[in-house]
Amino acid sequence: AKSEGRNLYRFFEPGMDAVVQARRALEVDLEAALPRQEFDLHFQPIMNITSGEITGAEALMRWHSPGRGTVAPDDFIPVAEETGLIVPLGEWALRKACAEAASWPPGLRIAVNVSAVQLKSNGFARGVISALAFSGVPAGRLELEITETVLMDESKAVLKTLRQLRELGIRIALDDFGTGYSSLGYLRRFPVDKIKIDRSFIRDMGNRDTAAIVRTIIGLGAELGIVVTAEGVETEAQLDMLRDNGCVEAQGYLIGVPSKPADIQRLLESRATR
């Protein structure tokens, strides 16, 4: 068996070996990062376009690795999903986000990203309920952001979990809307309260066709009674166009960058008492 292993090993290109090792090293670091408390959450404000009021914030995970520096979520979340670490990591994020939101002015929403693997894991709903109970945050203030990947496998279990969460008053947002295969199909089959237009559409809104797509998504949301949030709003021109077309909410660097808990709390308090 040993010589077989050696033969198998020869199928890898020398460069491939380095890639595999780097990936393995990342997995090892990531595994150790949770007990070492290397993760934290930043919060990005979300604004109601009509009133100009901040309605809540989205929690975005950060990994401060002593050896790697700050690693972007797009670089470690997929690895955490493949190794299954996303389950305890996601549960940590949910508890931490709710704990922070507990000290925000009343009524403000907290949005938390949930991976497909996490939503499908055993006891997910129980974890959510426990995070709410522990923090004292009412279910109506929690929003879970899921992507189409969650819905792609149309298992009864996923549908059941989503229904159960919504019955508690938790809102479900469909993230990165428009980027997947069958965004419209999912809207028909799954209960969602909000759609978040992917920032690639907002970025390209200067293009006539893209602008038409954005207007159509906004109209669709209005028809279906679903809140539409535009992601990645960076300019006044984009915000104006979204306002003119009746988009409900905006999120992006123009409104506010993802910030540390103390900073977002200050922002939320100043906006709430204005």
Residues that bind ligand C2E (CB under 6 A): 44, 59-61, 72-74, 77, 90, 93, 113-115, 145, 175-176, 199, 232-234, 252-253, 258
The total number of residues shown for the chain amounts to 274
269 binds, among Ca ion, ligand C2E, none (CB under 5 to 8 A by kind): none
Least CB distance to ligand C2E at residue 126 (A): 18
Query: Residue 60, SS3?
Result: strand
Contact 161/125 with Cβ under 8 angstroms?
A: yes
Query: Residue 250, SS3?
Result: strand
Dihedral sign computed on CA atoms, order 148, 153, 154, 159: negative
The residue among 58, 39, 56 whose CA lies nearest residue 112 is: 58
Toward Ca ion, which CB reaches closer, 115 or 135? 115
Question: Binding mask 73-112 vs Ca ion (x if CB under 5 A, - otherwise)?
Answer: ----------------------------------------
Dihedral sign computed on CA atoms, order 208, 211, 212, 213: positive
38 binds, among Ca ion, ligand C2E, none (CB under 5 to 8 A by kind): none
Q: Which of 145, 146, 252, 258 binds Ca ion (CB under 5 A)?
A: 145
State how far the Cα of 56 lies from the Cα of 100, in Å rounded to an integer. 12
Toward ligand C2E, which CB reaches closer, 36 or 273? 36
Toward ligand C2E, which CB reaches closer, 18 or 237? 237
State how far the Cα of 123 lies from the Cα of 145, in Å rounded to an integer. 18
Q: Which of 113, 115, 183, 238 binds Ca ion (CB under 5 A)?
A: 113
Binding-site ranges for Ca ion (CB under 5 A)? 113, 145, 175-176, 231
